[in-house]
Structure formats: structure tokens, C-alpha cells
Structure 1
């Protein structure tokens, strides 16, 4: 049987997330560069829009969205699991995935598109990826259109003269916090990667490690983060961590004990992650909760809506000590909903354990335990839709 195909791009952070996952799981795959021809003749007709990453299974199924792809594959390849089975670690892994996928968009897009030092590489890679059969001169010229599209997204994302200083401060702070963490642990929750490792790796690798200007910053300021990225990107070994001894003149692989190849015991959350969690609850959480309120109003005004726009106008948001403006997005609500659904699925004692942990952070319990009954969403045919559409379809 043919391997599944991963349609994506080295420039895409979400492709990096899925590719690292596939390598970690040992799932055979054929990497496919997302050319203009593939977008027009394959992705748009079968997925509904031109987007990566997409996996195409051997039986012809198309799965789009990095989180959805991993959910799909995790059911087929459950071991080793990337989702902790203990409640606090599970919640934290999902929160960090949400943070990586949705909040780190701010620094990755700023550092890619605001510095001219990156443009020769980006131009060459956009051109050769999207138009591989054209001459180099034609590739460079056509790439300018794609580059103009992505750079035009900065205001919608909230990247502007008011927010840039806080975006940069927050990113450097993240590098410092991750450096302190990786001095102690090889992965975010201990000795094997969780879903958040793959999400954060994709965002940091594709833009901030590879692009020249931010890549220089990372290599100078956070070499341990670079080493973690390189480890996440390869996963070509059967063992994630290994040491050897000499016995009878031969090199012998040492056996690791279970605590050296699993998440931390007893549902521990490393304190080195607390500053990142603080950022989530102080900055990202209020922004997403405001998106929920905007969606509630939209659904009330559009009771027959079958598909939701990706952006519902603009709204004010806080980043660090600055108030700025960005698009109000619907997709993060779908990710938050998974977190709150898991939280409410926990039996009483386990939920109390999570509550005790969340009490360490202002606004954490209100975010994780948010009532989404009046703004629930689902993904149907690769688009975010009001959840009642599914209920109606069962009648």
C-alpha cells in the first residue's frame, strides 16, 4: 500500500507540526510540496480552499488542519500517545497547543515580514515551491504575489506600530523561559513530547529558526531552544534519549528507566512553564473570550448561518501593556471548546485537582471552564460552522 501523502511546505509552521509528529510516530509518508498546480487541481476541489497542510490517505481521504490531522492519526496510531492521561498535564498540553497555534502567529508573522533580511530566502522558497517548473526569474516574479498576500495579513493579526514592541518583548521572554525549561527537561512535560511540543516546534521552526533575521536572534539568545527544535524536526532514531556504555570492548546501549521516557510522574507541571501559562491567561485568554462574545452576537443576528466567516470584524485586544486592534477570529473558539469539553468531562475529584492547579493563575479557571453553550462550533468539510447544523442534520 502506498504511504499517506503530506501536502505542505517548509515555509509552513503547521506543516512542521504535522511532519514532526509523523516522524515521531514512525508513520511512513510521502512529503509533497504544495505547488500552484496541486493547489488548483487537488486541494481546492477536494478540501474547499487552498491551504496546507493536508494529508491524503492511501484510500483517498483528505484531512485538513494540523490539529484535525493529528487527532485523526492518533486514533490509528495511539502508541506512544502524545496526550497525557492525567488531567492537569492534559489541560496544560492543550493550552500550550492553543498558545502555539494561535498566539505565536504574532511573532512568527512579524519577524518574517517586517525585516528585509528575510526577503531573498522567502522569495526564492515561495517561487521554487509554488512554481517549481518555471525558470528562476519567473519564480521570483510570481512569488511576489504570494508574498504580498501574506504580508498584507499583518494588520488583521494585530501586528502594527502599537503592538510591535510588545510582540518582540514577549517573544524574547518566551525564548528565555524555554531556555530555562530545556536546561532541566528535554520536552515540555518531561521525557517525551506531547501535542504542545509538536505545535510549538512547528511555529518556532518554520519562521523563527529558519528565517535569517529571527534565526540569528534565536541562535544567539537561545541555543538550547535551537537544539530542541533540531531534535523535534528529526526524530529519526528509535529512541528519543539514549546513552551508551562500554562492555567487553563493545559499545552497548543503556536501557532507560520509565521515568526517563515518559511524561513527568504524578501529574506534575514544571514550574518553568508557569511564565508561559501566565501569558496565556493574561493576554490570549481575554482575547479569545471576547471572540466568544462577538460570535454569540453574530449567531443571534444570523440564526440560519451554516458556515462562519474566519474573521468577524475587528476588536480590541491586550498584548503586554499595550491595547491594539486585530481581527476577531472564530477558529480559536473551536480549540478552546476542546479544552473546556475535556475539563467538564472530568469526574468531580479530578476536576477539583485541575481547579486547584488553575487557582495559581488569575483568570485561568474562568477561561478553561468557560460556558460555550451559546457559541459552540464544529468543523464541517474543513470549515468552522455553528454546531447546531450537525444537530439539525441528524433529524
Structure 2
């Protein structure tokens, strides 16, 4: 057994240097000032050691002070809210904002990751840089020829995984059209508030940061951000460690910022229609999702985890409405989100619990 968490009461995050979800989780613990150690296990996934012993099949993995292992960034962050209540929470007090933060976080996790990985493993310069950077982080010091051979295998693996996820050439125009919109939304929001829901980060901010932390590094995507969204670039740097940020949630009487409105428009036009089509494909046992969004095609492998994500969002909306979030319906209807988020009879009861105790399901992108 390892020296649990490096000391009594500390968590141990086992993460990867190029993993948006690993940096998302670390940012959450840093902001909340929850004692933890950041560990990049040597040898990468599947090569034995602690990650293999944890038996999650994905990163990040987090070891609790009692020795148990958790996985999957969203349920880990939510479970930490239960274990450490009231300590610089990432969940807004207002039930409407709380739901919107969860929705934006899911958009980042399940959609923004798609253009990230398309950029990362497309152009020669991106493939070469990203493969070497990540393997350097995983492997540490190593003779050049051995390192080069491992980099080549990793690069081949990653491009192969993406080729099996969907029609990359077909999907690229749609995926890449949404990245600049996210940047523009954050730029607009920074004109009125430091974060989406006031002066402190929410789980939605943390989710966006996870993906943007990598988009700010990878050559092609970073060049776009540095050219078009300099304030967003610096916001990403600030979010690496927000432990010193003090702030308050916005007042319910205040209007939502333009960045939140713009993100909701994008979510209603692209993300939720895709998630609904994906869920229908999974339920019908169809292997592929084919949909046209804003006049652009998307052909992707049906994803059972994303079907669950949509179901959990529906449950979260129902909970927010039960807590008095009456303003959500007109807002979500205005942006085309409402109908996609309605529970079917018996749907809530059929959903598994959103739990960090489960075995990992998304290793390709984590």
C-alpha cells in the first residue's frame, strides 16, 4: 500500500500531463484548498503500477485518505462537495445558476473535448509536439532512441482511436466552428465578471478550464486563442491555481452575463441536439449517430456514456425546478435547450447513480 495521500487527510490525484480532465480535477481541489498531492505515474496507462492496480482504466484517478480509489472527474468533484460541504463550493447557491453551471461543465466535457482532440491529432506539427510533450511528462528521463520509439507508438495509438470515433474529415468543419465561439463567449463574459456566475469559479468554469488548458498549449489551437482571445488565454493561466481568489456569486436580480447567454445558445443549437440524437442511437442499438447541425454534418460512433450524461442533466434540471428555479424554463426555451432536457416517464428511475466509485468508461479521451 502506498503512503496514502502522502500524509493523513490528503488526497492523491493520479493524472496525466496532457489530460484535460486531470487538470480540471486538480484545479477544483486547488480552488477549494483541499489538501492533495499531484502525481504523474511513470509509465503511462496500462503499463502496470498503481494505475493498473486502481483498475479504473482511465485518468484521472484519485486515492482517498482511506485508501479507496475514485475516477471520472465530474462525479469526483460532486462527491467532494458532499465530503467537504460549504468549503469554497463550486456549486452556486442559486439553483438556476447551479444547473446552468452543471450544463456548461457537461458541454465542456462532452463537446469541447472533440475539437480539442481533432486539433491535437491532425496537423503534423500538432501531432509531433503533443505526442512528445505528453510522453516526456509520463516517462521522465530516458535515452533518446527509446523515447522516440515510445512516442511513435503513442502517436499511432491516439490517431487510431480518433479514427474509430467517427468521420473526422466530415465532422471537422462543425467541431472547429464551435471552438472560436467558446473563446468569444468567455471574452464577452470577462467584460462583466471574472467568472460565469460572479466573482468566483463554478463547476462550469472548472469544466471549461480543463479543455482550454490544453487548447492553450497545443500549437494550432493555442495560436487561435493567442490571436483572438488574449484575455481568455490569461484566464486559463489564472485558473491553474485559483486558491487565492475570493469572490461572491452573482445576485439573482442581476442579468446573466453575455458569455453565459452565448454558451447557452451554442449548447441549444449544437450540443443538446447531438446528445439527444446520440441517446436515441444508443437506445435503438444503432452503432452510429448521423445528424446535421447548423447545416453541417456529424457522423460519430454512438456513445453510451453520453446517453447517461444527458439523463443526469435531465435529473439535475428536475431537481433545480423543484428547488424553485422557475426562471430556467423561459431561459432554456429561448436557447432551444428545454425540450432536450425533459425526462421521459420512468427515465430517472432507470439511470444508474452518478458515482466516482465506478470503473472508468472514457479512457480514450482522458
- Shorter-chain TM-score: which interval? 0.7 to 0.9
Q: Which residue of 1 aligns with 2:248?
A: 262
Q: Residues 103 and 284 of structure 1 are in contact (CA less than 8 Å); yes or no, is this contact kept in structure 2?
A: yes
Matched, 1:54 2:41: no
Q: Which residue of 1 aligns with 2:179?
A: 171
Q: Residues 291 and 297 of structure 2 are in contact (CA less than 8 Å); yes or no, is this contact kept in structure 1?
A: yes
Q: Residues 283 and 318 of structure 1 are in contact (CA less than 8 Å); yes or no, is this contact kept in structure 2?
A: no
The match for 1:285 among 272, 275, 288 is: 272
Q: Which residue of 2 aligns with 1:301?
A: none
Higher relative contact order (CA 8 A, sep 6+): 2
The match for 1:138 among 137, 146, 155 is: 146
Q: Deviations over 1:12-42 (max 9, x none)?
A: 0001101111110112222111332774222
Matched, 1:118 2:126: yes
State how far apart, in whole Å, the 1-side matches of 2:228 and 2:327 are.
36
Partner SS for 2:192: coil
Task: Give 1:81 shift.
Answer: 1.3
Task: Give 1:88 shift.
Answer: 1.8
Task: Give 1:170 shift.
Answer: 1.9
State how far apart, in whole Å, the 2-side matches of 1:173 and 1:113 are.
21
Q: Which residue of 2 aligns with 1:304?
A: none
Q: Residues 337 and 372 of structure 1 are in contact (CA less than 8 Å); yes or no, is this contact kept in structure 2?
A: no
Task: Give 1:191 shift.
Answer: 0.8
Task: Give 1:351 shift.
Answer: 4.8
Q: Residues 187 and 259 of structure 2 are in contact (CA less than 8 Å); yes or no, is this contact kept in structure 1?
A: no
State how far apart, in whole Å, the 1-side matches of 2:178 and 2:205 are.
19
Correspondence list, 1:1-395, <5 A: 1-2=7-8, 3-36=10-43, 39=46, 40-49=48-57, 51-78=58-85, 79-132=87-140, 134-158=142-166, 160-206=168-214, 208-237=215-244, 239-240=245-246, 261-266=247-252, 268-298=255-285, 313-346=287-320, 350-362=324-336, 364-371=337-344, 373-374=346-347, 376-378=351-353, 381-383=358-360
- Distance of aligned partners of 1:342 and 1:127 in 2 relative to their CA distance in 1, 3 Å threshold: closer
- Larger strand proportion of the pair: 1
Task: Give 1:365 shift.
Answer: 1.4
- Distance of aligned partners of 1:348 and 1:100 in 2 relative to their CA distance in 1, 3 Å threshold: closer
Task: Give 1:133 shift.
Answer: 5.3
Task: Give 1:64 shift.
Answer: 0.4
Quick check: 29-38 or 319-328, which moved more?
A: 29-38
- Distance of aligned partners of 1:17 and 1:347 in 2 relative to their CA distance in 1, 3 Å threshold: closer
State how far apart, in whole Å, the 2-side matches of 1:124 and 1:37 are.
13
Task: Give 1:205 shift.
Answer: 0.6
Q: Residues 276 and 310 of structure 2 are in contact (CA less than 8 Å); yes or no, is this contact kept in structure 1?
A: no
Partner SS for 2:150: helix
Partner SS for 2:338: helix
State how far apart, in whole Å, the 2-side matches of 1:274 and 1:13 are.
24
The alignment covers a number of residue pairs equal to 347
Structure 2, unmatched stretches of 5+, are 1-6, 362-366
Q: Looking at CA atoms only, which structure, 1 or 2, has the larger radius of gyration?
A: 1
Displaced runs of 4+ in structure 1, greater than 4 A?
346-349
Task: Give 1:221 shift.
Answer: 0.9
RMSD over aligned CA atoms reads: 2.3
Task: Give 1:360 shift.
Answer: 1.4
Partner SS for 1:214: helix
Task: Give 1:76 shift.
Answer: 2.0
Structure 1, unmatched stretches of 5+, are 241-260, 299-311, 385-395
